[in-house]
Amino acid sequence: MGMTKSTKTKGKIKRDGAVDPRRYSRLVVDGAKQTPSRAMLRAVGFTDADFQRPQIGIASTWANLTPCNMHINTLAAQAEAGANAAGGKGVLFNTITVSDGIAMGSPGMRYSLVSREIIADSIETVVGAEGFDGFVAIGGCDKNMPGCAMAIARLNRPAVFVYGGTIRPGAQRRDIVSVFEAVGGHAAGKVSDAELAAVERTAIPGPGSCGGMYTANTMASAIEALGLSLPDSSAQEAVSELKQNDCRRAGEAVVKLVKAGITPSKILIRKAFENAITVTIAVGGSTNAVLHLLAIAHAAGVRLTLDDFTRIGKRVPVLADLRPSGRYAMSELVAIGGIQPLMKRLLDRGLLHGDCLTVTGRTLAENLKNVRDYPRGQKIVYDFDAPIKKDSHLVVMRGSVAPEGAVAKITGKEGLLFSGPTRVFDGEEPATKAILAGKVRAGDIVVIRYEGPRGGPGMREMLSPTGAIMGLGLGDKVALITDGRFSGGSHGFVVGHISPEAMNGGPIALIRNGDHITIDAATRRIDIAVSAAELRRRKKAWKAPKPYATRGVLAKFASSVSSASQGAVTD
């Protein structure tokens, strides 16, 4: 890490006192030996002048298979134009994306978290192989965003992340979660066939990421707080002129970072991750941010643990009344100023580290110096003296069910204590089927296991069962725990990321129907009313089920993935 100085010595990068704005690309395009490289590049449009410029990769996650990413090819072209205008040579390339919203509730969702690793690997591979001096990474869906940030951290070359932007609300302020909850309402007889069809046709009006403070908008906010995005990048609509400008400025900014020798290792320090956690809490963000920030920190070589979320969470309140547990959409926060005024409030309150460097080349405090506060009378962001919750909604729990930790999303609306008998399901599908069939009743704790990083594999999100619970009107009457994870759109009394996972013989694998579990958000405990001796007897008799996949990408992921408590990383 920390590669900011270099010269060329026998074809290798030597770190010394000189800052060269073309320290990587010149190994690819300079000298007689690299004539074949230049010949290949001329075929894709390079000129003599281009070989003298810093080479800037533009990593696009465009795909016409999800609203989140359907517009990113246009944004990537803007970033390329910005890099060229600033004196660089922009070079576009693509990586994959998958759609959580489409795959949700199906076997395809197993590939979602796996795609985070593939995206990080592919960006690292292209940038490393092609010798780019810096790059812009543009993401617009849950896993390609942390995947981009992980690649930025691993490569440690000047880089800027651009968020593809939030979607506008559908008719009657609907969004994707409205659809999932309408399915539950339909099962309960509260939503007619015609009403369900109307929700389906009007909830998703066009390009952009899911419109509440779900995982995409959470990660956009967290990445901006890390300092990897330009100010306001996290709070712009996908189809706005502001987002086009953001992309052009990102291309320009990377060229400046290359010339200044500012690399991600100067930005991604421990204080920056504390800033990201703080902002994630203040906006009421997704539990997935815990998993992804742990993974990005691992890529950056920064020590971050679940305990850091607890430590910071004790002093940071939830201030933004955003969906899913709140009332407002991201586009409504954008309309009153986005997250910059909130960050300014947090900074003034002493809750952010203002001395952290960002991709502007300035510190966070310098970026926020002239930010105006929200307009008077707005109802989305609360004051510190009357917060939505006085401390974090992201509650890290431990106990006899989760010795290595679990993550709950408790806003306070669900209550702080839930105790009851268990209904145990080996996998998401039988659980969702039972919920929709009315077999889960008030007071039950639904246990969904063998959905962890290794056991799933891929740690599927449980939006279908939680959406069904909410749609049936059981949101405050039923709890759900899992070694899988939750969509940012899930709400209710839910606990995920239970570690060790069932596939590794964790206590969640030993729970039986009717066992009594107590979940206490105040003490951060999740315990089973079964003796240690009985659990040992059950463990002795337990056998791991056959793996879901024995070859291919899912098998490779399962063989290398770490615990959710460590970010579910594969390297």
Catalytic machinery residues: 487
Task: Compute the distance between CA of residue 430 and CA of residue 166 in angstroms, rounded to an integer.
Answer: 33
Query: For residue 155, what are its two tokens?
Result: 């490569």
Strand partners, 14: 7
Query: For residue 145, what are its two tokens?
Result: 């965003």
DSSP assignment of 283-352: TT--THHHHHHHHHHHHHT----HHHHHHHHTT--B-B-BTTTSSB-HHHHHHTTTTHHHHHHHHHTT-S
Tell me, what amino acid is at 503? M
Task: Compute the distance between CA of residue 244 and CA of residue 251 in angstroms, rounded to an integer.
Answer: 11
Task: Compute the distance between CA of residue 381 and CA of residue 327 in angstroms, rounded to an integer.
Answer: 11
Query: For residue 293, what are its two tokens?
Result: 């920030």
**Longest CA–CA separation in the chain, Å:** 75
Helix axes 144-155, 111-130, angle to 10 degrees: 40
Task: Compute the distance between CA of residue 333 and CA of residue 341 in angstroms, rounded to an integer.
Answer: 11
Provide CB contacts within 8 A for 64, sequence distance 6+. Answer: 70
Task: Compute the distance between CA of residue 356 and CA of residue 547 in angstroms, rounded to an integer.
Answer: 44
* DSSP designation for 501: -
DSSP assignment of 406-457: EEEE--STT-SEEEEEEEEEESHHHHHHHHHTT-S-TT-EEEEES-STTTTT
Task: Compute the distance between CA of residue 317 and CA of residue 74 in angstroms, rounded to an integer.
Answer: 38
The dihedral sign for the CA sequence 442, 443, 444, 446: positive
- Total residue length of the chain: 571
The dihedral sign for the CA sequence 312, 317, 320, 323: positive
Sheet holding 89-94, edge to edge: 89-94, 55-60, 134-139, 159-163
